[in-house]
Amino acid sequence: MRGRQRLVLVLAAVLGVAGGVTTAFLAPGTSEPGAGPAEVNDPLRLGIPQVSLPSCTDEAVLVLGEGDSAAALTPAVSDAGDGARYLRTDESCETLWDTDDDVPQYVVYRGPYDSEAEPCRLSLEGEGDVANLSADNQQFVLCACVLPTAELAGIVPPGQLLEGEEPAPVRWVQMLQRLMGVEVTGVYDGASVDRVQAFQENNAILPADGKVGERTWGALRGQRCGRFEL
């Protein structure tokens, strides 16, 4: 009887050790009981993690703000919402992070995203610019060239708006102006309307009334996108 008890105790001890080893392999890096949460890398104390992106993966990121100090990044962080991070540009893919000549030291972003469409939808709602993680990229993603034509907003000249209709969002007008090669103001002004009407006439999009719908967007995309070299 005592022999059986000893055998049971030995087996229990062996199983306990094996269970501990198995647990260690299943949960590597698990904190000791009672230990606090893992420390977040946040040297600027912005309340979001610093996660640099060293690899040029051709994924897309939504650039929410940039700057060289915590103070410069704070407005972007306060509006960034869930999932925001920041990176050091000297530790990340050497892509376009800002349209200025000087490369910012830090960038607040969301992503990366597998495709450009998802961040483009957010960008055209006013949330930021879309950068592609590719080496030596020199321009932000032109979202009108990425999204399906059916998703592109209609743009109507101010003088043709019906009662109660709102002007097109600034972001959409800016995208159109970039495609048309006119000054980017975000206002669908006379110069922009004239350029669109001339384009419509040249492409038999009638009436050439300056209204930008699916046909005009489609023709612009076919002729002007060319991976954005505008």
68-74 average pLDDT score: 96
How would residue 122 be classed by pLDDT, with cut points 50, 70 and 90? Answer: very high
- Is a pLDDT exceeding 60 seen at residue 24? no
Q: What's the rounded Cα separation, in Å, for the pair 105 and 37?
A: 29
Asked if 22 contacts 72 with a C-beta cutoff of 8 angstroms, the reply is: no
How high does pLDDT run on average in the chain?
A: 83
- Is a pLDDT exceeding 60 seen at residue 134? yes
Asked if 77 contacts 46 with a C-beta cutoff of 8 angstroms, the reply is: yes
Quote the percentage of the chain above a pLDDT of 70: 81
How would residue 2 be classed by pLDDT, with cut points 50, 70 and 90? Answer: very low
Residue 143: partners with Cβ closer than 8 Å, 6 or more residues away: 116, 120, 123, 124, 130, 175
pLDDT the model gives residue 162: 86
pLDDT the model gives residue 227: 57
Q: Which residue has the higher pLDDT, 18 or 83?
A: 83
159-186 average pLDDT score: 89
Q: What's the rounded Cα separation, in Å, for the pair 38 and 137?
A: 35
pLDDT the model gives residue 164: 85
48-58 average pLDDT score: 96
User: Scanning the structure block, which residue is given the tokens 């032109």?
Assistant: 142
How would residue 37 be classed by pLDDT, with cut points 50, 70 and 90? Answer: low
107-133 average pLDDT score: 93
How would residue 54 be classed by pLDDT, with cut points 50, 70 and 90? Answer: very high
How would residue 35 be classed by pLDDT, with cut points 50, 70 and 90? Answer: low
State whether the Cα torsion 35-37-38-39 is positive or negative: negative
**pTM for the full model?**
0.75
Alpha helix (H) ranges present in 27-80?
A: 70-79
